[in-house]
Structure 1
Amino acid sequence: MKQPILVTEHLSHVYMQGTPMEHRALDDVSIQIDRGECIAIIGHTGSGKSTLIQHFNGLMRPQSGSVIINGMNVSDPKLDVKALRRQVGLVFQNPEDQIFEKLVGDDVAYGPFKMGLPIEEVRRRVEWAMELVGLSFEEMKDRPTFALSGGQKRKVALAGVLSLQPKILVLDEPTAGLDPRSRNELLERIKRLNTEERLTVIFVSHNMEEVAHLADRVYVMANGRAVCEGTPRSIFSNQELLHTHHIGTPESVDILYRLRAEGYQVDPGAYSVDEAADQIAHLIGR
């Protein structure tokens, strides 16, 4: 039985309201995310994705509509924001924005220390979170944060969020700027967090390979609205939707569309590399 963990209803947000620079970033957005899902939020720049996810941990409060996170109403003036942020961990696109300490171990421990946990529990959480994202606790805990690579900084930021043991992990462009090896490693870590740790994952991405690899469902944002929702298969097989909202496709899907344009009978909804390869192999064999 599905259990909603995050629900927005008729959520709207206007920047610089009442001025000549007024901009409606969110317009009547209603979405539902169930416990344990991995959800991608996609759309062109300016579609409202980042504004939407900032409502998920109380960085922004609803101007109109509602956001309910695991039973907590983000509109409630008495909301315990610290408690909300222990439920929802947000990892920014730029990891430097949330690295505060000089040493890796101290930075990952920052959140648990602020929670007032016993030192033994802080150490246990730091070691657990670092190992989970692929950072050796013994090798990395005393490493200066300024000397880290971009991929390592992203892992430290992720570990710092995970050390709070949130119920929901929100990621803004999780692999932006990473080399292919670091990107693939981080994607596998995120997938394991979702499938093995049963962490609900929500991520914003322009990279459709990431979406195809990770997401159970996809929300498409355009002009501040959630214009479509579906599985990666249903989204990537809808060529009119992709064209209307300027959404890219994974390379495997792009190849299948080009083959179909040449008259071959293929299914572009077969978005995984293995499925696409099977279709191409079948064509060659025939």
Structure 2
Amino acid sequence: MREPFLTIRNLSHTYMKGTPLEHVALREVSLEAGRGECLAIIGHTGSGKSTLIQHLNGLLLPQSGEVTVDGLHLSGPKPDVKALRRKVGLVFQNPEDQIFEKLVGDDVAYGPFKMGYPLQEVRERVRWAMELVGISFDEYKDRPTFALSGGQKRKVALAGVLALKPDLLVLDEPTAGLDPYSRNELLNRIRELNRKEKMTVLFVTHNMEEVATLADRVCVMAEGRVAAEGTPREIFGDTRLLAEHQLGPPEAVEILHALHRRGHPVNPGAYLTEEAAGEILSLIRERE
């Protein structure tokens, strides 16, 4: 485990507490993310994933338990939410939820302006963030946000968060609704942020290919609890765990599991596409 950047201890959360509509969303969740790590959170709808990540930038504060981000404690009587949001950037599933301005450049600049940075620094941050996500500053800064495609809006929302230069980037279903080209392009940008910029990344997804592509470690959630943790190789190689939580592995892993069940000597834990291809090629060569 790398140096802890995010620490969650026994975090619980109940919506509409004390009413007939009371719903327990989190039940004593404990979790850590290392500095510079990429952590995937998976699980069915209603497992508590979205409630959990809303605690990471102060949208929700702990009812019980502890949340600590880079030494900043959120469980006290007066947590410093402004300082927290300098450290943690949260990108929502729907980019429209965080695009406020009419022009792209103004929208990306919204956060830095609110944080009180000087005009020249704001401009530099906006240019850096837009170019980082693959949007030309000169070409797009004066474009109306309403005229953007879904993929472009997602990039603008990500750039608006990155302009604050957070230490922890939190993404909720980052590629939902994108076409394959836009999806792969955005995944490459996220990988670059994590690997080259050394940014800690935590993302929620239902797409297991994204987990295989990006994650160093995986947290499986079920009924508001952490059901399992491990590397992608450990999680995707555990057929009992996958079946118990009705999680479909990446297609490459699914093929290897099917071959393994039929008695073929392949490693079902080879979760990367190139690894799975190597297993299948080896099998073909043996048969030849």
TM range (shorter): over 0.9
- Secondary structure of 2:60 counterpart: coil
**Residue 162 of structure 1: aligned partner:** 162
Q: Which residue in 1 is equivalent to 2:118?
A: 118
Partner residue, 2:223:
223
Q: Give matches, 1:24-103, under 5 Å.
A: 24-103=24-103
For the 8 Å contact 2:2–2:37, the answer to whether it is kept is: no
Give the whole-Å Cα distance in 2 for the aligned partners of 1:272 and 1:5.
27
TM, length-normalised to structure 1: 0.99
Q: What secondary structure does 2:153 align onto? A: helix
The residue type paired with residue 266 of structure 1 is V
CA RMSD of aligned residues (A): 0.8
Which residue of structure 2 aligns with residue 242 of structure 1? 242
d(CA) in 2 for partners of 1:220, 1:2: 20
- 1:150-229 to 2 correspondences below 5 Å: 150-229=150-229
Partner residue in 2 for 1:252: 252
Q: Deviations over 1:240-277 (max 9, x none)?
A: 00000111110000100111121111111101111101
Structure 2, unaligned runs of 5 or more: none
Deviations 1:74-119 (A, max 9, x none): 1223222111111100000000000000000000000111111111
Secondary structure of 1:20's partner? Answer: coil
Q: Which moved more, 1:19-28 or 1:104-113?
A: 19-28
Secondary structure of the 2:202 match is strand
Unaligned ranges ≥5, structure 1: none
Q: Residue 137 of structure 1 aligns to which amino acid in structure 2?
A: F
Q: Is the 8 A contact 2:171 2:204 kept in 1?
A: yes
Give the secondary structure class of the aligned counterpart of 1:283.
helix
CA distance in 1, matches of 2:24, 2:132: 39
Shift of 1:50: 0.2
1:5 alignment counterpart: 5
Give 1:20 shift.
2.3
Q: Verify the 8 A CA contact 2:40 2:211 in the aligned structure 1.
A: yes
- Structure 2 counterpart of 1:147: 147
Provide the secondary structure at the position in 2 that maps to 1:197. Answer: coil
In structure 2, distance between residues paired with 1:116 and 1:28: 37
Partner of 2:267 in structure 1? Answer: 267
Letter in 1 for 2:164: L
**Stretches of 4+ aligned residues off by more than 3 angstroms:** none
Tell me the distance in 1 between the aligned counterparts of 2:97 and 2:45: 20
Q: State the secondary structure of the residue aligned to 2:265.
A: coil
Distance across 1 between alignment mates of 2:76 and 2:198: 28
Shift of residue 19, structure 1, vs aligned partner: 2.0
TM-score norm. by structure 2 comes to 0.98
Aligned counterparts of 2:13 and 2:117: Cα–Cα separation in 1:
36
Which is worse superposed, 75-84 or 65-74?
Answer: 75-84
CA distance in 1: counterparts of 2:77 and 2:118, whole angstroms: 30
SS in 1 for 2:258: helix
Q: Which moved more, 1:70-79 or 1:31-40?
A: 70-79
State the AA in 1 paired with 2:107.
D
Q: Distance in 2 between matches of 1:206 and 1:259?
A: 24
Q: Deviations over 1:219-240 (max 9, x none)?
A: 0000000011000000000000
- Classify the secondary structure of the residue corresponding to 1:24: strand
**Shift in Å at residue 177 of structure 1?**
0.1
Q: Specify the alignment match of 1:282 in structure 2.
A: 282
1:41-64 deviation per Cα after TM superposition (whole angstroms, max 9, x unaligned): 000110000000000001001111
Q: Report the Cα distance in structure 2 between the residues aligned to 1:94 and 1:80, rounded to whole angstroms.
A: 27
Are the equivalent residues in 1 in contact too, given 2:74–2:80 (CA < 8 A)? no
| Matched residue type, 1:218 | V
Distance 1:11 1:136 in 2: 41
User: Following TM superposition, by how much is the alpha carbon of 1:18 offset from its aligned partner in structure 2, in angstroms?
Assistant: 1.8
- Secondary structure in 2 matching 1:280: helix
Q: CA deviation at 1:2?
A: 2.6
Give the percent of matched residue pairs that are identical in Structure 1 and Structure 2. Answer: 69
Q: Distance in 2 between matches of 1:171 and 1:2?
A: 21
